[in-house]
Amino acid sequence: EAQVTQNPRYLITVTGKKLTVTCSQNMNHEYMSWYRQDPGLGLRQIYYSMNVEVTDKGDVPEGYKVSRKEKRNFPLILESPSPNQTSLYFCASSAEGLAGVDTQYFGPGTRLTVL
């Protein structure tokens, strides 16, 4: 089954404790992206990756890091989480290069609470 998986699905942590949210896709997609969703603000893009070792900032990258060492994985790293990073996080992937094929597929979300 084609899917995007995220782990963990729920996480409560404390300020300053480094954490990683994993994202994996089994569709051999080139493109992957991280978003955060906050009430009234919609989804905002954090980072994206066009392919292995190619990453770039979205609109809200401060406080986050990413890496793309393998095509299927795109982890989101919070080196020193703060309460304003409490949010619902989504990972997404899509194929690139073919018109009409670049539909984004989303993971189930990770709800993060930073105390």
Partner 1 sequence: KQEVTQIPAALSVPEGENLVLNCSFTDSAIYNLQWFRQDPGKGLTSLLLIQSSQREQTSGRLNASLDKSSGRSTLYIAASQPGDSATYLCAVRRGTTDSWGKFQFGAGTQVVVTP
Indicate the residue among 85 and 93 with the shorter CB distance to partner 1.
93
Neighbours of 7 (CB within 10 A): 14
Rounded least distance, CB 47 to partner 1, Å: 9
Using CB under 8 A, list all residues that contact partner 1. 4, 31, 33, 35, 40-45, 48-50, 56, 58-59, 90, 92, 99-100, 102-109
Smallest gap from Cβ 98 to partner 1, in A, equals 11
- For 81, counting Cβ atoms within 10 Å of its Cβ (0-12 exposed, 13-18 middle, 19+ buried), the class is buried
**Cβ distance to partner 1 smaller for residue 92 or 114:** 92
**Joined tokens for residue 7:** 């782990």
* C-alpha distances in Å from residue 111, one per residue of 1, 31, 35, 50, 85: 24, 23, 12, 25, 10
Q: Between residues 17 and 102, which has the closer beta carbon with respect to partner 1? A: 102
